[in-house]
Chain A
């Protein structure tokens, strides 16, 4: 039972990291109906940006809340900038071409960033700066709860609420929803779809930036291919929760984190990914649009 609670904590902590990245996938999908495969590599660039900035400022071994905030802002800034650039240069020219072209371009951008990153940053893993002191918040009855677990969870939940507020309570959010449901009608109503789409990329990429600092803090090893697996899992989490749905992405990510954890705990560590993904396939058979996704019939 003690173990079960510990596994629960581990799984939720892992899931909240997937959630931050899954939010970016789901936002872009919601508005453009495209899967931005480069998202996980924007996350990688965020980690490297904060690594270099921390070294440049000389705060790479100065763990404090101040360091955390500086690195979060740095990473969010560079990620937003990169997200914006990718949208402008790679996706916007293809806005009116078939969906498949954008999809292939997204994969291309992703590979470009991964392997370009190996040239620019070097392929060997770097050690992420000390962001915050990790300390045990609660220990006893065989359960260890550390400050990192809580920080990651709180930041993910805050990000989710902030996003929810932005989309459902602000004018900008209304414009985003309008573009999502019909870009041409939205533009007739005075909304500039290009600007709204750019804004979506900025917000989504900033979330990836937050994720990169939190992951770097918790697992202090970063390399140019770090986005691959975590991006894949976050993407699957977004699909599982119902792609396009904000709370769905978070729910999906938590399920993903927990199922990985429980597979190792009670079945087999060797088949962790296989079984975790297997569980997802089973869920999708019964809920094809994802848990919170709306299933809409395409009218031809």
Chain B
């Protein structure tokens, strides 16, 4: 009797996991809702929720409502893996949207791959992410492209000759951008005068910056995340480094200017989209986003929104809700008119689209130019 009771208790959660509402299609999402890059996950999640609410309001997909289960990975690789495992095995989702940070997507995508569940990353730009397998997609461009954009911008638009690089060695994303930037910038006749590193979590960068200052570069390329970039900008100005700083989409957060204050103004970074775009799709998205959350969407929110829309469109086209059927339809995405531009997925399951260069001005983002692949 006691054993029976015990086994009942033990199997209850499993049974609960199996009960599925037939009028709903379960979609999973995981991201960093807390941790040092929490604004990434929170923004992305807002975009995803906006898209799903819209789709549901318009009648859902295949006549069913989309049910989103969002999980927090706390900014840790191991938590991302367990979040995806839970989504796949317990929530029984048909597809997963997830992973702004490349490291976390790379760590957790194999779980989705092995269960044949399509995995769509909104913003993981490291090239290795989609190499995990044929169920892993992304709707953003890849690091080499962001490195190339800034290399092109620095040498062609800004006519710069000497660049110093300061990279976060602990971060795949930062190393990826820095490598491609260095290679492309040299190819265009520029010179990398200094290539130094720091580690996420550091707060003092003056040693590296003093070192860089002595080389008199025309710009500093710092493809890191906003918390460190804010501090680096401040300390660079304290040391009397007056040249502009450049970076990638890891800069895109409200906190960048809160931490960096005036020091961050006038610097450039590459990004997926800008709120200043005149495209009606963009202004429409911004209006809806502001109405729902009362804030201006950043690029990650836009990417989250596009990811959910692309996924929903693929599910609608798919003959059934099996992983392989949905996968095949996602792969066929072509010229999808998203908020972040026309999105086409190539044979490597990466998106092909253009990037914008943006200048920081307090909380505002000034559109400078668009750079195509």
Count B-side interface residues using an 8 Å CB cutoff: 32
Inter-chain CA distance A148–B203, complex, in Å, is: 15
Contact A219 B207 (CB under 8 A): no
Inter-chain CA distance A43–B221, complex, in Å, is: 33
Given contacts A144-B238, A269-B197, A269-B198, contact A124 B203 (CB under 8 A): no
Q: Please tell me if A270 contacts chain B, counting CB pairs below 8 Å.
A: yes
Find the A residue at minimum CB distance from B41. Answer: A124
Contact A3 B231 (CB under 8 A): no
Give B44 Cβ to nearest chain A Cβ, in Å: 14
- Among B196, B201, B206, B259, the residue within 8 A (CB) of A10 is B206
Inter-chain CA distance A123–B227, complex, in Å, is: 13
Q: Please tell me if A185 contacts chain B, counting CB pairs below 8 Å.
A: no
Q: Please tell me if A65 contacts chain B, counting CB pairs below 8 Å.
A: no
Contact B211 A3 (CB under 8 A): yes
Give A163 Cβ to nearest chain B Cβ, in Å: 25
Contact B203 A219 (CB under 8 A): yes
Interface band, chain A: 35 or more
Contact B211 A123 (CB under 8 A): no
Find the B residue at minimum CB distance from A135. Answer: B238
Contact B240 A139 (CB under 8 A): yes
Find the A residue at minimum CB distance from B240. Answer: A144
Q: Please tell me if B359 contacts chain A, counting CB pairs below 8 Å.
A: no
Chain A residues, Cβ within 8 Å of B238: 134, 136, 144, 146, 148
Chain B residues, Cβ within 8 Å of A87: none
Looking at B1-9, B31-39, B281-289, the stretch in contact with chain A turns out to be B31-39
Find the B residue at minimum CB distance from A128. Answer: B259
Number of A-B contacts (CB under 8 A): 88
Q: Please tell me if A166 contacts chain B, counting CB pairs below 8 Å.
A: no
Contact B210 A7 (CB under 8 A): yes
Inter-chain CA distance A144–B203, complex, in Å, is: 19
Chain B residues, Cβ within 8 Å of A94: none
Give B105 Cβ to nearest chain A Cβ, in Å: 20
Given contacts A122-B38, A142-B214, 10 further A-B contacts (CB under 8 A): A3-B214, A10-B210, A123-B38, A124-B35, A124-B38, A124-B39, A125-B255, A144-B238, A146-B238, A220-B234
Residues on A lying within 8 angstroms of B by beta carbon are 2-3, 6-7, 10-11, 13-14, 118, 122-125, 127, 134, 136, 139, 142, 144, 146, 148, 215, 219-221, 223, 226, 229-230, 260-265, 269-270, 272
The 25 listed contacts between A and B (C-beta, < 8 Å) are: A3-B211, A3-B213, A6-B239, A7-B207, A10-B204, A14-B204, A118-B34, A123-B35, A123-B74, A123-B75, A124-B36, A125-B36, A136-B238, A136-B240, A142-B214, A144-B239, A219-B204, A219-B231, A220-B259, A221-B203, A221-B227, A263-B207, A265-B207, A269-B198, A270-B197
